[in-house]
Amino acid sequence: MGDSFRLVVKAPHEVREIDAVWRAGVALSDVLRQAEMPLNTRCGQRGLCDGCLIRILEGQVVDLSGVPLATDSGAPIRACRCQVPPAGVVSLQIPARSLLAHAPQIVSSFRVGVSQAHHPLWQSWELPAEAWRTESSLLGAVGTAIAWRADRDPPLSSEGGVCQGDRPREGSGRVVLEHRGDHWSVRPAPRDLAIRPLGLAVDVGTTTVVVLLVDLADGQVLQTASALNAQTRLGDNVVTRIQLCLQDTQLVARLQQQLVRRTLRPLLEQVLRAAGAVEDQVVCVTAAGNTTMLHLLAGEDPGPLGIAPFMPAFLEHRVIDGGELLAGRGRAGLVPSRASATRGPGGEEPGAEEPSAALQRSPAVHLLPGAAAYVGADVVAGIVAAGMIYRDQPCLLVDIGTNGELVLQHGGRMWGCATAAGPAFEGFGLRNGVRAAAGAISHIGLNPNGYEPDLEIIGKRSPIGICGTAYVDFLAAGCRSGLLGPHGRFLPQDGQVPRLVTRSKTRGFDLAPTEDGQMLQITEADVASLLQAKAAIAAGIACLMRRAGLAPPDIPTVLVAGGFGFHMKPASVVGCGLLPGFRVEQIDLVGNTSLAGAYLALIDSGALREMKRIGENLEIIELNQEPDFETQYIDHLALPASEPF
């Protein structure tokens, strides 16, 4: 047994003592994770962010090579870069913003902006006797009966003993029709089909995962649940997770387990429990997400997405066997295709289940189609769900995040691109930046008389940090009021504005103190990072408009999607130049379009067909090859000219 040490941990709502065995090179963040107090190690514990900042109150810590660290100043240190010496006793404080349990706001609200049919990917219905008038087989009768409600693409295929000699004695019968990727499977319905079949629509986000439990009989949403994607324990952004897989391919399985076992599985149990349903009722699942997230859900290595030419393992609609996946027992397998199925001499599938077990077969999990490595299924699903493809006039879709995905529709064509905005809009790399969560300052207004801030705080509690929507507000209000110059510098001199304070040679604007007395501040360095992020988005929009020969007045509607966009104030988006040249009345906040698309595909197979078509035909613009992208980027680094208050 090695040496041991003790931690006295002061967290926002508890004080704990942790005894642990000392091992060389084991970071303090690892010790806290093993004690079920995980920190926000958003960069994969590489010391590249401030997500795991702690304060040492008593005792000594050393860096990972054993060199003592100075902690007497009370300055925060990164828990992923330090460890406790053997036989040491350390008292430390964890701010709320450093705890992984400090969960972000999750947008589960959405709207479907297009009419939909009720033709779900899994359905059961009574075969009318009239279908037998011209057909002698059950499969033929099914084809005749559904011709008016579904096309033959993909084609029908018989399963579970449905063959030429299966005509029921009474000339009617109930059948199950299920989309399995390259075919609709037809099989006799179970005798106990009184059980209500249910479906799941899932938005697999990089940060958060949202699940809808849907009644397939009528399309009604029965329950909704959401949670932090447990993969954030290993890295809080797509690039970090791709890099982890490049460094060690075994981490693919670990990341899949974090998503399936620690995130999806608990959410499934939560919605079933709330609806009074059982797992066997779940017969179909649709999942939308960016290309990396769907790779990890399927157990595919996303590493090639991080190296030119950025080749994904798949982009097309893929169907995987959900039995093992939903049970959280391992890597999901592909559903066998119709062409590869081998039938027995009587026409049956090998190992085909008895009709009474039809609901207990593994549900198909439909991974929705994407368009490119960084324009994924979440974007394609959003295009359909927002009704963008059916608009007669030009329309722009903007999903703002670490990678800003942009799609422009005009004249029957669609152009799409992804621009590396960076994580500043999520608070990453900013002095007091946090994701939107309880205690985060979500909106900032500036009183023109003395620049006094008017703050909105999520949860109406003491502030713990500043989230992206508040930073966008600050850019717009600072520009409009004269507090910020066109290049992001504070214009008033020291002493002219009481809240403008220089600390450690960095000028910043004081907002409010936290519970522990830390002053939340927006610095000139923060503003510079934000201007870089907004310039990347604005330059991408400008390049798409140039391709289409359009200007902002030519585009009646800008659809702003996603959690960040849903909570932004349109006036601030326009005022800071994030949507350059547009007016407030052109902006439409559409919520979680990825979730909307997953729901739409679940209940209307025609929507899935449209997503396939869009994924194949969306014209992807590589911005690094656009001749004027760099010029546009530099131009948009400045704040726009604005009329003062």
Q: What is the pLDDT of residue 171?
A: 44
Rounded to whole angstroms, the Cα distance separating 31 from 61 reads: 13
Lowest mean pLDDT among 33-37, 65-69, 112-116, 373-377: 112-116
pLDDT band at 170 (very low <50, low <70, confident <90, very high): very low
* Contact assessment for residue 395 and residue 362, using Cβ atoms and an 8 Å cutoff: no
Per-residue pLDDT, 644: 45
Category of 387 on φ-ψ map: left (φ > 0), alpha (ψ -120 to 50) or beta: left
Distance CA 483, CA 488 (A): 9
Q: Specify which of 35-49, 152-166, 325-339, 512-526 reaches the highest per-range mean pLDDT.
A: 512-526
The C-alpha atoms of residue 55 and residue 418 are separated, in whole angstroms, by: 38
pLDDT at 403: 74
How far apart CA 439 and CA 6 sit, in angstroms, is 30
For the chain, what is the mean pLDDT?
Answer: 82
* pLDDT, greater one: 77 or 460: 77
Percent of the chain scoring above 90 in pLDDT: 44
Query: What are the residues whose beta carbons fall under 8 Å from the beta carbon of 518, sequence distance 6 or more?
Result: 95, 432
- In this predicted structure, which of 69-78, 337-346, 364-373, 461-470 has the lowest mean pLDDT? 337-346
pLDDT at residue number 162: 44
CA 283 – CA 148 distance, rounded (Å): 24
**Which residue in this structure is represented by tokens 């911005």?**
623
Helices (H), 135-283: 138-146, 238-247, 250-259, 265-275
Domain annotation for the chain: domains and CATH numbers: 4-98 (3.10.20.30), 122-188 (no CATH), 198-314+318-367 (3.30.420.480), 385-423+530-635 (3.30.420), 426-524 (no CATH)
- Measure the CA–CA gap between 522 and 518, rounded to whole angstroms: 13
Q: How far apart are CA 132 and CA 142, in angstroms?
A: 9
Structure tokens at 503: 């600390």
pLDDT recorded at residue 347: 35
What per-residue confidence (pLDDT) applies to 119? 85
- Residue 44 near residue 240 (C-beta atoms within 8 A): yes
Residue found by looking up tokens 């060199």 in the block: 67
Q: What is the dihedral of CA 443, 448, 452, 455, to 10 degrees?
A: -10
Q: Residue 41: is its pLDDT beyond 80?
A: no
What's the pLDDT tens digit per position in 541-557?
999 999 999 999 999 99
Q: Is 505 left (phi over 0), alpha (psi -120 to 50) or beta?
A: left
**pLDDT-based confidence at residue 274 (cuts at 50, 70, 90):** very high
Q: Over range 586-591, report the average pLDDT.
A: 90
List for the chain the helix, strand, coil content (%; round to 5): 30, 25, 40
Q: What is the mean pLDDT of residues 388-414?
A: 89
Reply yes or no on whether the pLDDT at 285 is more than 90: yes
Backbone φ/ψ region at 45: left (φ over 0), alpha (ψ -120 to 50), beta: left
Cβ atoms within 10 Å, residue 588: 16
**Do residues 195 and 101 lie in contact, with contact meaning Cβ atoms separated by under 8 Å?**
no
User: Against a cut of 0.85, is the pTM above it?
Assistant: no
Write down the H helix ranges in 328-451.
377-385
Q: Is 128 helix (H, G, I), strand (E, B) or coil?
A: coil
Beta strand pairing call for 208-215 and 221-228: antiparallel
Does residue 141 have a pLDDT over 90?
Answer: no
Q: Is the pLDDT of residue 87 over 60?
A: yes
Res 161: pLDDT: 44
Q: Specify the 3-state DSSP secondary structure of 216.
A: coil
pLDDT more than 70, % of the chain: 81
Q: Residue 192: its pLDDT value, please?
A: 58
